[in-house]
């Protein structure tokens, strides 16, 4: 099957420094690894030191340059200190990838104030604060906000995660206006990505069912998303700002889940 492991572009970010939030595992770890493979100095960050140090160690073993800085994205002081530590370590900041995220699997009728604050402070407020502090250190550069296809369509019991993801797209447009012209801001909206949180306990039948309703015929990988982030952060996207780019294998192009498998079966007859 084609895809799933995009090839890094050598020296794309040579001499640049990238900060990737929520990068101790999953999509964030893949983004950090991809940017490092393309020449960036990378700051890995999250709440779990052991996991974060492991990601930074792997990057260094592969010839890249990375450090881990622990930070809780719900703590504004931690965010300010994180950006300060990034600049102190590498002398500047060129790329910020806002990726930290949590969800509560609650409906709008049952979510509590604690649920709201947990998701909004982690997935939304931290994006603004990280970008605000990073912008103060950037003479030029790029911010990529990782949202979700839940900004475009959603499922039950995904509130306030889905509301926040829609908000990220709007925040990106606001930042593109306020941070331009020298700092670009864009959003990537992943769909189904095969990570422990989404597919770790999924049986093979359910996985095949999900794959069948994607025009690509497969679920995404963290590396798929990392490739899109790299593009948006790079000079290849020099005329792209305020945009949100779906990276969902075409999932949002399908109106009815049973349509695509049946259609393919008829075409193969």
Q: Answer for the pair 20, 237: CB distance below 8 angstroms, yes or no.
A: no
Lowest-confidence region among 91-95, 119-123, 191-195, 231-235: 191-195
Residue 20 clears pLDDT 50, i.e. is over it: yes
Which of the four pLDDT bands, split at 50, 70 and 90, describes residue 256? Answer: confident
Buried/exposed code over 66-80 (b: 16+ C-beta within 10 A; e: otherwise) = bbbbbbbbbeeebbb
- Say which residue the tokens 């719900």 belong to: 74
Q: What is the mean pLDDT of residues 89-112?
A: 96
Q: Distance (Å, rounded) from C-alpha 232 to C-alpha 95? A: 10
Q: What is the pLDDT of residue 39?
A: 98
Q: What is the pLDDT of residue 116?
A: 97
CA atoms within 13 A of residue 222's CA, in its CB half-sphere = 19
Say what the pTM is. 0.92
Q: What is the pLDDT of residue 213?
A: 86
Q: What is the pLDDT of residue 13?
A: 98
Residue 1 clears pLDDT 50, i.e. is over it: no
Q: Answer for the pair 47, 70: CB distance below 8 angstroms, yes or no.
A: yes
CA-CA-CA-CA torsion sign (225, 171, 21, 9): positive
Tens of pLDDT, residues 116-142: 999 999 999 999 999 999 999 999 999
- Please, which contacts does 64-69 make with residues 24 or more away whose CB atoms are closer than 8 Å? 64/33, 64/36, 64/37, 64/40, 65/36, 65/41, 66/32, 66/36, 66/41, 66/42, 67/42, 67/43, 68/43, 68/44, 69/43, 69/44, 69/45
Of 122, 123, 111, nearest to 187 by C-alpha is: 123
Q: What is the pLDDT of residue 260?
A: 72
Tens of pLDDT, residues 197-250: 666 677 788 888 888 889 999 999 999 999 999 999 999 999 999 999 999 999
Q: What is the pLDDT of residue 200?
A: 60
Residues contacting 234, CB < 8 A, separation 6+: 9, 12, 13, 142
Q: What is the mean pLDDT of residues 169-196?
A: 94
Residue in 13, 124, 135, 161 annotated catalytic? 161
Q: What is the pLDDT of residue 212?
A: 87
SS3 46: strand
Reported in sequence order, the residue ranges of the chain that DSSP labels E, i.e. its strands, are 17-20, 41-46, 65-70, 95-98, 141-146, 183-190, 244-247
- Say which residue the tokens 């931690």 belong to: 78
More confident residue, 66 or 259: 66
161 assigned to active site: yes
Tens of pLDDT, residues 27-86: 999 999 999 999 999 999 999 999 999 999 999 999 999 999 999 999 999 999 999 999
Please give the domain boundaries of the chain with CATH numbers for all domains. 17-201+221-254 (3.40.50.720)
């Amino acid at each position: 099957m084609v895809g799933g492991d995009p090839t890094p572009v050598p020296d794309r970010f040579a001499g640049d420094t990238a900060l990737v939030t929520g990068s101790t595992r999953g999509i964030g770890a893949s983004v950090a690894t991809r940017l490092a493979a393309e020449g960036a100095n990378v700051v890995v960050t999250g709440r779990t030191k052991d996991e974060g140090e492991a990601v930074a160690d792997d990057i260094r073993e592969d010839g890249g340059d990375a450090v881990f800085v622990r930070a809780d994205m719900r703590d504004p002081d931690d965010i300010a200190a994180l950006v300060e530590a990034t600049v102190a370590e590498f002398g500047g900041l060129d790329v910020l990838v806002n990726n930290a995220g949590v969800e509560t699997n609650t409906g709008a009728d049952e979510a509590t104030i604690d649920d709201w604050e947990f998701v909004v402070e982690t997935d939304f407020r931290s994006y603004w604060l990280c970008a605000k502090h990073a912008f103060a250190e950037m003479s030029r550069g790029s911010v990529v906000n990782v949202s979700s296809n839940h900004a475009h369509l959603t499922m039950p019991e995904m509130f306030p995660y889905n509301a926040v993801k829609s908000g990220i797209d709007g925040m990106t447009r606001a930042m593109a206006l306020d941070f331009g012209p020298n700092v670009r801001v864009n959003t990537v909206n992943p769909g189904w990505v095969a990570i422990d949180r989404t597919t770790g306990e999924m049986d093979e039948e359910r996985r095949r069912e999900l794959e069948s309703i994607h025009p690509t015929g497969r679920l995404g990988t963290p590396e798929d998303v990392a490739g899109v982030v790299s593009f948006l952060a790079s000079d290849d996207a020099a005329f792209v700002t305020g945009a949100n780019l779906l990276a969902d294998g075409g999932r949002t192009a399908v109106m009815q889940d049973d349509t695509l498998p049946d259609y393919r079966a008829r075409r193969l007859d």
